[in-house]
Amino acid sequence: MDIIQVRRDFHRHPEVGFTEFRTAGKVVETLLALGYHVTYGKDAIDGSARRGVPSEKDLQRAFERAIENGADPDIIAPMEGGYTAVIGTLEGNAPGPVVALRFDMDALPITESAEADHVPFAKGFRSEFEGNMHACAHDGHTAIGLGVAKVMAHGNFAGTLKLIFQPAEEGVRGAYAVTEKGMLDDVDYLLCHHLGTNVPLGEIYGGAQGFLATTKMAVHFRGVSSHAGAAPELGKNALLGAATALLNIHAIPRFSSGDTRINVGVLEGGTAANIIPQHAKMIIETRSDSEEVNCDLEERVRKIIAHSAAMHELEYDIDIIGGAIPIKCDEEMVKTVLEAAAEVDGFSSLKGIQTGSRGSEDASYMIKRVQERGGKGTYMIIGTDIAAPHHHEKFDIQEDILPRGVQLLERAAMKLLK
């Protein structure tokens, strides 16, 4: 297995959240070939706990595209409908703890650059799925996961290795459903990571904190249309409800008990100048460094939505389309990671816990579950030089990090499996 080629293959076939049929299919094939026990499809993820699932039509189209691009129809059949989590398990040759590593597989709805100075284009592995792109290094994460699978396939360790490949990290939508399925319930040690995030090649953080708890909501208001000239009083105006909600959501107070963020990112409604608008849609997110405060924000948003709707006699529904909570890394795990890094060539700058991120990460649910059940976890940052910011059409990683990442995770896992 050439990990560089594996990553480039994923890069050419980027699949957004819950449509990672081809990617997950390759993962299943590889894990099976290496002798891992593989759990996937509805056995690996709680369907109803998935958030922000694409439409039936989009799921179907992506499923067919995966097959057209080399996915084995028999292997991916259990994934149909968006069940794209894969868990590979390998028992060691002695009893010991369960050590899990988590990798996210999804891409972004970004059209990749086709300019000469963009390496994937220049070297011929630009996205072939036009409009989608691996612009956040998850192709690298997944490739590293398969690399670790290979180097650990010997089974010479005490305990159980569990490799968790999750869908839909973007929009913080997938980890919660994997966790709810119980996939983390037996884990003693959990290692999560991200490449890049402004940390240069050669540097590593053993943990990362500061991620915000967040909730993403989609709201639909449904009113009644009427002719704006002939009978405006017969309408129930969905945009009046939505605009009222928008202003009041922004007016939710600051909290003395936590840092907060609120955004109504999208508002769309109505049909024509002369029609009282009968529908409106909003996409909202709340964030806080406190999970409790974020819950309070979500409750306040729900209340505002409910009464903005009722005020104008609208019906409404609220879907949770994403969410995450803060991460607290265990010192012991951070230490283990840094010890492992010290044994691998290429890591010259070893750091403790990175703080200050105001982003969100859904591995948080997995780490919390492990910790709640007495286990330990960390979220490490593995530096790599990047060609452009994350989520940019020219984003690219330094591929040297891939083999080093495999070594790092192998060492860290081996330290725990004893």
Q: Which residues are annotated binding-site positions?
A: 136, 138, 170, 194, 391
Report d(CA 135, CA 14) in Å as an integer. Answer: 9
What tokens does 207 get?
A: 């943990």
Strand order in 213-222's β-sheet? 279-288, 213-222, 315-324
Report d(CA 403, CA 40) in Å as an integer. Answer: 26
Q: Which residues are annotated as a binding site for Mn(2+)?
A: 136, 138, 170, 194, 391
The smaller minimum CB distance to a copy of itself, of residues 276 and 338, is found at: 276
**Gyration radius of the chain's alpha carbons:** 23
Our finding on whether 253 is near a copy of itself (CB under 8 A) is: yes
Q: Which residues of 158-176 are buried (b: 16+ CB within 10 A; e: fewer)?
A: ebbbbbbbbbbbbbbbbbb
409: amino acid identity, one letter: L
Which of 106, 169, 285, 361 is close enough to bind a copy of itself by CB under 8 A? 285
Our finding on whether 381 is near a copy of itself (CB under 8 A) is: no
Which of 144, 212, 397, 406 is close enough to bind a copy of itself by CB under 8 A? 212
Residue of 4, 33, 87, 13 whose CA lies nearest to 404: 4
The smaller minimum CB distance to a copy of itself, of residues 48 and 274, is found at: 274
Our finding on whether 116 is near a copy of itself (CB under 8 A) is: no
Interactions with a copy of itself, residue window 177-206 (CB under 8 A): none
244: amino acid identity, one letter: T
Which of 360, 378, 398, 407 is close enough to bind a copy of itself by CB under 8 A? 360
Report d(CA 67, CA 185) in Å as an integer. Answer: 33
346: amino acid identity, one letter: G
Which of 150, 287, 369, 376 is close enough to bind a copy of itself by CB under 8 A? 287
The smaller minimum CB distance to a copy of itself, of residues 121 and 255, is found at: 255
Interactions with a copy of itself, residue window 293-312 (CB under 8 A): 296, 303-304, 306-308, 310-312
Which of 81, 270, 346, 352 is close enough to bind a copy of itself by CB under 8 A? 270
Interactions with a copy of itself, residue window 222-241 (CB under 8 A): 227-233, 235, 237, 239-240
Which of 247, 315, 343, 372 is close enough to bind a copy of itself by CB under 8 A? 247
Is the CB of residue 414 less than 8 Å from the CB of residue 157?
A: yes
Which of 39, 260, 294, 378 is close enough to bind a copy of itself by CB under 8 A? 260
Is the CB of residue 23 less than 8 Å from the CB of residue 75?
A: no
Our finding on whether 362 is near a copy of itself (CB under 8 A) is: no
Alpha helices, DSSP H, located in 13-123: 21-33, 56-68, 73-76, 119-122
CB of 28 to a copy of itself, least distance (A): 31
Residue of 308, 161, 162 whose CA lies nearest to 246: 308
Report d(CA 349, CA 201) in Å as an integer. Answer: 9
DSSP-assigned letters across all residues of 306-324? HHHHHHTT-EEEEEEEEEE
Report d(CA 32, CA 35) in Å as an integer. Answer: 5
Our finding on whether 61 is near a copy of itself (CB under 8 A) is: no
CB of 287 to a copy of itself, least distance (A): 5
CB of 284 to a copy of itself, least distance (A): 7
Per CB under 8 A, residues contacting a copy of itself are 171, 212, 214, 216, 227-233, 235, 237, 239-240, 242-244, 246-248, 250-251, 253-257, 259-277, 280, 283-285, 287, 296, 303-304, 306-308, 310-313, 321-322, 358-360
